[in-house]
Every structure is written in C-alpha cells, then in structure tokens.
Amino acid sequence: MPARVAFLLLWGLIWGPETRAATFFDPRPRLLADSTTLTCQAQVPSQEFELFKDGVVWDQVRLDRPAMEHRFQLAGETGDTHGLYRCRSRFGSEWTQLSNLLEVTEDGSLPPPLLSAEPMSWITPGLNITLLCQGARQGVTFSLKREGDSKFLAVAEAGPHGQATFPVHQAGNYSCSYRTHAAGDPSEPSATVTIEELAAPPPPRLEVRDRLPRILQPGTSLTLECVAPLAGVEFLLWKDKKDLLVTMSSTSPDRVFFHLNEVALGDSGPYTCRYRMRQEHSAWSGESAPLELVLSDGTLPAPELSAEPPSLRPAPGSHVRLRCRGPRAGLRFALVTEEDDDRLAVRALLSPPGAEASFELRAVSVVDSANYSCVYVDPAPPFAGSVASEPLELRVDGPLPRPQLRPLWSGAVTPGRDAVLRCESSVPGVAFELLRTGEEEAATRVRAHGTSADLVLPYVGPQHAGNYSCRYRVWGSGGFVSELSDPVELLVAGR
C-alpha cells in the first residue's frame, strides 16, 4: 500500500492541520414568538413561508419579493391559538425541513426551552462541550442549572435566534430555563440532559464499504469505512498497532473512507480505526472492533466442506453445523457464500486447534439459504491460501421470522409531538420499514446494524392516525423481505 496521504472531502471542505470541526449550512428556518406574532426566520431570502400548527398547515403566504422572515399573526379571527407550531420556507425549488418546535400555551405561561449537547453528550479529559438552550422568544435571559447545585451554574442573554450557549466542564444532569424580565417568573425547566465523563471517546465502527468482506486476491483494491458517533473529527487507520498512511476521502463529516490499493497476502489485518476531536489535548477514541481481510492466492489445495445433519434442506429454526477440513493444523478458515455477482462473501472466520473448523448456524431461516463453501489461509509467511471447497447448497423453506412492533408512548399522541415505534427482529443488519395499513409506500425507513431500530413519525397530526406495521429487508443475495408485524394503532389526541 502506498505511503502517500491524500485526503479529499467530497462535500467541499479540505481539512488541514489547523482546521476545526467543520460547520455546514442548514437551510431550516427558526421560529420565534412574541405576544401576538410568530416569526419564521429564514436562512436565505424566500418568497414563500408556511406555518404549521399541531401537525397540519395553519397558514401560508407568498410574498411579492424575497424576505428573510415573515410574521404570522396569532391574534384575530383564528380562534384558539395554543398548540405546537413549526414553520418552513421555500429554498430554491424545494421546501426546507421544518423549523424548531415552538409551543404556545393556553394560559400565557412560558413553555419550557429545549436543551441539547453540542457536539456530543460526553466529555473526556482535555475536552469540554457546549450546552445549547433554545427558547421561543427573543430578549430573554437563560439560566443553566446542574442537578444537586443550589444555585444556577450560569446565566446568559439570548442571542438573535432566541438561544444561548453554555460551556460545560463537568459531568452531571443539566437543565435550563428562562425569564422574559428580571422580576418575572421563570419558565418551566427544559428536559434534563445527562453529560457523562468518559476516559476516552466511544469507539467508531469499521466495515468494508462493499457491505460484506469478500475473499480477495493479491493486487485487489478495496475501501474501508470508519464511522464516528459525531462529526468534525480526524481519523486514523491502524494495523498491528501502527498508523497506516493511506489515501482517504469523505462524503460526510462523521466518516472517512480508507482506500487500500493493491493489497498483498500479508495485508490481512486485523484493522482498526479511531478518531479524535480537532481540539488541542483532545483524547483519541477507543479502537473499533477489528476487521480482518481474507486474501488467498489459490495456490493451496481445496478443503472439504460437509454438513451436520447431512440434509441440505433443514427445517426453519433448526441447528446446522458446517465442517471445513484442511490438510493440517495452524490454518485460518473462512466460511463463505456465493453472491449474485459470483464473488465469495465471508460469513465467519475460525482458527481451530486442529485441522477442522466447525461453523455453527443457529435457528436457520430462509435468509440462511445460500451456496456455502470454505477457504483456508496460512497465517504465517508466505501467507498462501487455498482455492474454495466444493459448494454445498443449503435451502431453508418458509418466510422470514416476523418482526415485532411496539410504541414508545402510551395513550394518544399529542398533536405536534413525534411518535416513535420500535421494530425488532431476530436478524441483524437489516433495513426496517414502517407502513401504514392500506398504503404501499413506507412512511419511514432505517438501516440498522443491530436487531432493532426506532422508526419516527415526526410532528404528528390528525392525518397520521391509523394502524401501522413494520417489516425488514435483508440485502444481498435473494433480497428477502419479511412479513408484516402485528399492527399498532396510533391515536391522535383530539381527533
């Protein structure tokens, strides 16, 4: 692999040694309030503005010329005005995403602000974070408090967007509130934000960008993707506890692509990656789970693959053992499946004490249907590898296990709030979809690395009421889709 370093950020910024965490333009407007109006502040001039109340369009306007804001009147003939509001503006030919959520109370009391941690909800030695307190009014004074303290930790005047920032140096449970004037009563406190203190930032995730590791031939080029839990960081790729100088690129500030060019037999790994904030004295994260490449030059004789029990059409839910036997002990074995493009995808790796590796397939389902074979490599120089064994075609009948869907709320959802449903399956690394009864298009989709995902219906209105089910898709050979879960009914209050 070349020892030259190239780092091109495809989203238009170049990171140099002195560059801080990158900031990116967000066209979403900001919604603020006073006693009689709601002001939708655009990020760029716009001629069209829309105001939503409790999940549905409440008012809309098209101006004669572009403006940076529009004031929607609350008083007048509109009647009851208390509720949850958001706005959006036209950005080019498209609407922006919805603004922040703003609550107008019935009795004139001050709604609680929103508190969030930037850029993450943990601190490490030498690294501090910022808490952002966002209100709905301009000209207010924010106060930050930590649980267990008798006094406010800090006080700050609101900026032009009705928000204030507070640097945080200690772990704890924080909340914020605000006052419209010095003698006035404070608002209700925000929801609590917990800041943890960690010895090191949590580890990133390292995977082959091609979704599944494959059997590689010497001279092949491939890309590894390292994903951090936050944006604007610098990355390192490690092998044998040494920093590898390889070509890197990125399309997003929370990840990087490591390009391995013309890998050799000794480049199997294991590889790990880590990251750190671009701040002085910031700590490196823990290492990712190791990723191992399987390189084989096909110069060694093929192993033998057998199944136990010998039937290649096992019943769903049964246990299957695939045995791969090589010529001697001290070898590294890979169980592989044949993909649609005729390449071999690595499913599991073992280094048994003897000459045989036993791969366990537990509770098999239709997703385990594939043509299986195995390969072995010698982990010692010159790192030669075998050709693949004769394949075994394993076929499991029946549908995929049905997922389960459960709501993360009780009762009816307040109009204007988010509805979150958790979909769970027994198959990891799938794409979950939420569907409303009677509709073919998914309401939302989430790609998961584990066996569950939270599916969010944002800013629910009366039009969202109904029954919802979820399903999941298994990518790759077969393109399997599960059956729908049992439905969950979404009730919207006041409907």
135-139, 190-194, 483-487: least confident range: 135-139
CATH homologous superfamily of domain 304-394?
Immunoglobulins (2.60.40.10)
Per-residue confidence (pLDDT) for residue 478, from 0 to 100 = 61
Mean pLDDT of 195-202: 92
Per-residue confidence (pLDDT) for residue 73, from 0 to 100 = 92
**CATH architecture of the domain formed by 114-197:** Sandwich (2.60)
Question: What is the separation of C-alpha 144 from the centre of its chain, rounded to a whole number of angstroms?
Answer: 29
Q: Is the CATH number of domain 30-99 3.30.9.10?
A: no
Pairwise pLDDT comparison (336 vs 135), residue with the higher score: 336
Question: What is the separation of C-alpha 168 from the centre of its chain, rounded to a whole number of angstroms?
Answer: 25
- The DSSP result for 141-153, as a single string, is EEEEEETT-SS-S
User: Distance of CA 189 to CAs 85, 101, 150, 169, 178, Å?
Assistant: 19, 16, 15, 21, 8
Q: How far apart are CA 161 and CA 138, in angstroms?
A: 7
pLDDT band at 191 (very low <50, low <70, confident <90, very high): very high
Which CATH number does 7-20+202-287 carry?
2.60.40.10
Count Cβ atoms within 10 A of the Cβ of residue 34 and give its class: 0-12 exposed, 13-18 middle, 19 or more buried: middle
Per-residue confidence (pLDDT) for residue 341, from 0 to 100 = 65
Which residue has tokens 């009366």?
462
pLDDT band at 17 (very low <50, low <70, confident <90, very high): very low
- The DSSP result for 161-182, as a single string, is TSEEEEEE-S-EEEEEEEESST
Q: How far apart are CA 448 and CA 453, in angstroms?
A: 6
Please name which of 326, 342, 340, 321 lies closest in space to residue 375, comparing C-alpha atoms.
Answer: 326
In this structure, are residues 490 and 410 in contact, taking their beta carbons and an 8 Å threshold?
no
pLDDT band at 4 (very low <50, low <70, confident <90, very high): very low
Pairing relationship of beta strands 141-146 and 172-179 according to DSSP bridges: antiparallel
pLDDT, tens digit, 9 for 90 and up, residues 341-395 = 677 889 999 999 999 999 999 989 888 999 999 999 999 999 999 999 999 999 9
156-165, 217-226, 264-273, 439-448: least confident range: 156-165
Which residue has tokens 């990723």?
291
Q: Any idea which fold 404-490 has?
A: Immunoglobulin-like (2.60.40)
pLDDT band at 157 (very low <50, low <70, confident <90, very high): very high
Q: How far apart are CA 17 and CA 234, in angstroms?
A: 10
Pairwise pLDDT comparison (277 vs 342), residue with the higher score: 277
Per-residue confidence (pLDDT) for residue 371, from 0 to 100 = 93
123 pLDDT exceeds 60?
yes
3-state secondary structure of 198: coil
Per-residue confidence (pLDDT) for residue 214, from 0 to 100 = 86
Domain with CATH 2.60.40.10 in the chain: 7-20+202-287, 30-99, 114-197, 304-394, 404-490
Question: What is the separation of C-alpha 495 from the centre of its chain, rounded to a whole number of angstroms?
Answer: 33
